[in-house]
Amino acid sequence: MEIISNPTRVEINKAAQALKDGHLVAFPTETVYGLGADATNEKAVSRIYSVKGRPTDHPLIVHISSINQLDKWAVDFPEYAIKLAKEFWPGPMTLILKRSEIAKDFISGGQDNVGVRVPSHPVALALLSEFERLGGLGVAAPSANRFGKVSPTSSTDVQEDLGMYLEDTDQILDGGRSLVGIESTIINCLSKLPVVLRPGSISNGQINKFIDAEKCLESKLVSVNAPGLLFAHYSPNAKVLTDGVPNVGDGFLALAEIPTPSGAIRLASPETVDQFAKVLYQSLRFGDKKGVKRIFVSIPHGDGVATAIRDRIQKAGNAD
Ligand code: TXA
Ligand code: MG
């Protein structure tokens, strides 16, 4: 497996060809790094599952280069989905839509719907555009970590997690540290109104602009089968705790304004909630590297991205 730092246009084009040839290419996105495969190639997609160690009924998000590719993968989408796509793509948002015939069971986990996203990282966009120029339709990409573990926000994270499972012909494209740091907001667009299935940096407040408050309650009754979202762990090896006082040698993560309890090992001091999201997974991984047994996280208050941070920390804490 080859790691390509600061890939040039030629190198990105080669990676797109590798995807077309059925190989796996891990690539940077603004949320987290993804493990990509041609979303129409069953054999390539099946390798995603084995490399990640992920159950095959967990559907995959299809990544495309622009909203113009959307009708290849999805049909009968509501008008609000188009509005959301126009507003937030390219960006950290995934829409769950009724699938087209192109989206096979091996992408959708056998469901009648498909998740689609246009990422904004320039390397991801260049890779997807070239892949489509070569005749590709979309790139399936879950986060490039082992199942249940912390998502990767750098190419080194990907190499550490998956290097031993990848083949010589697979590639990892480096594109620096992911700017958002947590996975995309997933929005179910299968009912009359949008429903957030996984919070992310695009907040409910931003999405609610498109919703009539009265109808919103009604739409919450409709759900899709999202196994990965219910059981996802995002877990480091250390135990993640949000209450109590750390002992000497425990890890500690909090906003910069909160002082480090005596004897605890400070993992990061983000100044803002956005920065907190950006360093969250990096800090959990850092704690594991330091060999700490427990990581205390002082979770930020508020809505928006703070909601997404709380969601991930809660799931990390559920690990055992
Ligand atoms: O930011 C992101 O979304 C990253 C980057 C690489 O794009 N991708 C990502 O994919 O987080 P993944 O597979 O690690 O997490 C997506 C979650 C999984 O739990 C999956 O089961 C769920 O979303 N999911 C995907 N498609 C779905 C669908 N059609 N219906 C319900 N849940 C879906
Ligand atoms: Mg994941």
Rounded percentage of the chain residues whose pLDDT exceeds 70:
92
What is the SS3 assignment for 175?
coil
Distance 63 CA to ligand 2 centre (A): 14
- The continuous run of DSSP H or E covering 294 comes out as strand 294-297
Distance 145 CA to ligand 2 centre (A): 7
Of the bound ligands, which one is closest to the alpha carbon of residue 93? Answer: 1
Has residue 48 been placed in a domain? yes
Has residue 230 been placed in a domain? no
**Alpha carbon of residue 207 to chain centroid:** 18
Q: pLDDT for 279-320, tens place per residue?
A: 999 999 999 999 999 999 999 999 889 999 999 998 887 644
* Eight-class DSSP state of 64: -
Distance 143 CA to ligand 2 centre (A): 4
Shared domain for 200 and 127, answered yes or no, is yes
Of the bound ligands, which one is closest to the alpha carbon of residue 195? Answer: 1
CATH number of the CATH domain containing 106: 3.90.870.10
Distance 22 CA to ligand 2 centre (A): 21
Structure token digits, residue 121 = 């990282």
Using CA atoms, how far apart are residues 65 and 118, in angstroms rounded to an integer? 6
Shared domain for 207 and 91, answered yes or no, is yes
Residues 6 or more apart from 61 whose CB is under 8 A from it? 94, 115, 116, 117, 140, 141, 142, 184
Residue 86: give the domain boundaries.
Answer: 2-218
**What residue ranges line ligand 1, CB within 6 angstroms?**
29, 31-32, 34, 58-61, 94, 96, 108, 111, 113-115, 117, 119, 141-143, 183-184, 186, 224, 226-229, 232
Has residue 303 been placed in a domain? yes
Shared domain for 161 and 273, answered yes or no, is no
Among 178, 183, 196, 225, say which to mutate for ligand 1: greatest number of ligand atoms within 8 Å of CB.
Answer: 183
Using CA atoms, how far apart are residues 14 and 178, in angstroms rounded to an integer? 22
Using CA atoms, how far apart are residues 283 and 269, in angstroms rounded to an integer? 10
Q: Is the pLDDT of residue 232 over 90?
A: no
Has residue 223 been placed in a domain? no
Using CA atoms, how far apart are residues 45 and 138, in angstroms rounded to an integer? 12
Helix 155-162 with 273-290: angle, nearest 10 deg: 40
Shared domain for 37 and 149, answered yes or no, is yes
Residue 228's pLDDT is what? 60
Shared domain for 266 and 150, answered yes or no, is no
Of the bound ligands, which one is closest to the alpha carbon of residue 179? Answer: 1
Residue 233's pLDDT is what? 73
Mean pLDDT value across residues 123-127: 98
Q: pLDDT for 100-109, tens place per residue?
A: 999 999 999 9
Residue in the structure block whose two tokens are 């892949």: 131
Tell me the CA distances in angstroms from 48 to 51, 227, 237, 242, one per residue in order.
Answer: 5, 17, 23, 33
Q: What is the pTM of this model?
A: 0.95
Task: Tell me if the bond preceding 90 is cis, omega within 30° of 0.
Answer: yes
Shared domain for 130 and 71, answered yes or no, is yes
Name the residue with the closest Cα to ligand 1, atom 12: 142
* Residue (of 27, 293, 266) closest to 170 by Cα position: 27
Closest ligand 1 atom, CA of 63? 7
Distance 53 CA to ligand 2 centre (A): 11
